Amino acid sequence: MSLLTVGTVAFDDIETPFGRAERVVGGAATYISLAASYFTPEVQVVSVIGDDFPTETLDDLRRRGINLEGIQVKHGEKSFFWAGRYHNNLNDRDTLDTQLNVLADFDPVLPEVYTKADFVMLGNLTPDVQHRVLDQLQHKPRLVALDTMNFWMNVALDSLMEVLKRIDILTINDEEARQLTGQHSLVNAAEAIFTMGPRFLVIKKGEHGALLFSPDNVFFAPALPLAEVFDPTGAGDTFAGGFMGYLASTGDLSFDNMKRAVIFGSAMASFCVERFSIERLTNLSRPEIDQRVQRFADLVHFTR
Ligand code: AMP
């Protein structure tokens, strides 16, 4: 089934305790679409870039079968740019710079084939753009997920609250869940988020895994203990891409299948953090992914 994704396609400057990378390819939609492309063949991207964005990267995405018809190229303008610095624990980071550039006045236009999408992943970007994408859909998708971050809570909270009413699943990190709800306990935060619109919630906790909540159930997925975590940038988006890609490939929206999707998403995120930028996500194989999922199963298996 088709998966429509919206988000930034961007340049990042990244500083980790292990090194620096300048003007590397990033962006929520880049990570989401690459991760999802390992599960479902019809991945469609809506985004905007300047003419500074490398054509080689667009070719890499196309080679993975990703449909880029919905990416607008603004001539003479610059792509979205973000700079971040990670703390020693790699779970916390400071945003050093966010330059919206082409994103500032982005008006998404969905190609006809995108308007019939079965699954929709609204990646992290302006809530107004997330609204305008939903407005153009011709029928209600089977599942709409949304990811956002503190930046948009700070600058566009009203629009974000409106778009939350239109979605099924929110994916967010633990600190952002606390900021959005004013609740410290994640269980209470989940309850508060269910009153805002979503029926499901994924709370990402970096190296401490992820929690999947529905009003009646909760599931915990660990993150894989890795010897080498190089760059956590994009892990949340890669998780979301793997999660939604897996759901789109199976079409099964039971809670049990969502648990599997959380593990597939976590497995994809574990690859992402092993290298800077999208390097690790461009040439994986399905057997490699399945082996990693097996490591998750082994990690939490016990008898009593
Ligand atoms: P993640 O590490 O999964 O939260 O995603 C990191 C990616 O999000 C980076 O590649 C950035 O280009 C992108 N990003 C950072 N800030 C924003 C923002 N305010 N809106 C949209 N995308 C962003």
- For 180-199, the pLDDT digits (tens) are 999 999 999 999 999 999 99
How far does residue 28's CA lie from ligand 1's centre (Å)? 6
What is this structure's pTM? 0.97
70 lines ligand 1 (CB under 6 A): no
Q: Is 91 a pocket residue for ligand 1 (Cβ < 6 Å)?
A: no
pLDDT at 91: 85
Residue 18's pLDDT is 87
For the CA of 84, the closest atom of ligand 1 is 15
Is the Cβ–Cβ distance between 3 and 40 less than 8 Å? yes
- pLDDT tens digits for range 90-141: 888 999 999 999 999 999 999 999 999 999 999 999 999 999 999 999 999 9
Mean pLDDT of 258-286: 96
pLDDT tens-place string over residues 155-188: 999 999 999 999 999 999 999 999 999 999 999 9
Helix (H) or strand (E) holding 82: strand 80-86
User: Residue 165 corresponds to which tokens in the numbers above?
Assistant: 């009413």
Q: Would the CB of 8 count as within 6 Å of ligand 1?
A: yes
pLDDT tens per residue, range 272-283: 999 999 999 999
Q: What is the percent of the chain with per-residue pLDDT over 70, rounded to a whole number?
A: 100
**Residue whose CA is closest, atom 5 of ligand 1?**
234
Neighbours of 268 (CB within 10 A): 31
Is ligand 1 within 6 A of the CB of residue 233?
A: yes
Starting at the earlier edge strand, list the strands of the sheet with 169-173. 67-74, 43-50, 3-6, 119-122, 143-147, 169-173, 200-204, 210-213, 218-221
How would residue 228 be classed by pLDDT, with cut points 50, 70 and 90? confident
CA of 240, closest atom in ligand 1: 3
Confidence of residue 285 (pLDDT cuts 50, 70, 90): very high
- The strand pairing partners of 14, in sequence order, are 21, 84
Say yes or no: CB of residue 98 within 6 Å of ligand 1.
yes
- pLDDT score at 299: 95
* Polymer length in residues for the chain: 304
Using an 8 Å Cβ cutoff, are 47 and 26 in contact?
Answer: no
DSSP state of 222: P
Q: Could you tell me if the CB of 27 is within 6 A of ligand 1?
A: yes
Distance 256 CA to ligand 1 centre (A): 29
Give pLDDT tens digits for 57-84. Answer: 999 999 999 999 999 999 999 999 999 9
Instruction: Measure CA 256 to chain center.
Output: 21
Q: Is 28 in the pocket of ligand 1 (CB under 6 A)?
A: yes
Q: How far apart are CA 186 and CA 204, in angstroms?
A: 11
Q: Whose C-alpha lies nearest to ligand 1, atom 13?
A: 27
Angle at 102 between CA 97 and CA 107, to 5 degrees: 130
Which pair of structure tokens corresponds to residue 215?
A: 């009003």
Cα gap 225→220, rounded to integer Å: 15
Q: How far, in Å, from the CA of 300 to the mean position of ligand 1? A: 30
C-alpha distances (whole Å) from 251 to each of 137, 143, 246 are: 19, 10, 8
Give the mean pLDDT of 220-237. 93
- For β-strands 43-50 and 67-74, DSSP reports them as parallel
Q: Is the CB of 234 under 6 A from ligand 1?
A: yes
Q: Distance, CA 235 to ligand 1 centroid (Å)? A: 10
User: Across all residues in the chain, what is the average pLDDT?
Assistant: 97
Does 237 sit in the ligand 1 pocket, CB within 6 Å? yes
Q: CA-CA distance, 219 to 49, in Å (whole number)?
A: 37
Whether 49 has a pLDDT exceeding 90, the answer reads: yes
- Token pair recorded at residue 2: 């088709």
CA–CA distance, 190 with 201 (Å, rounded to integer): 7
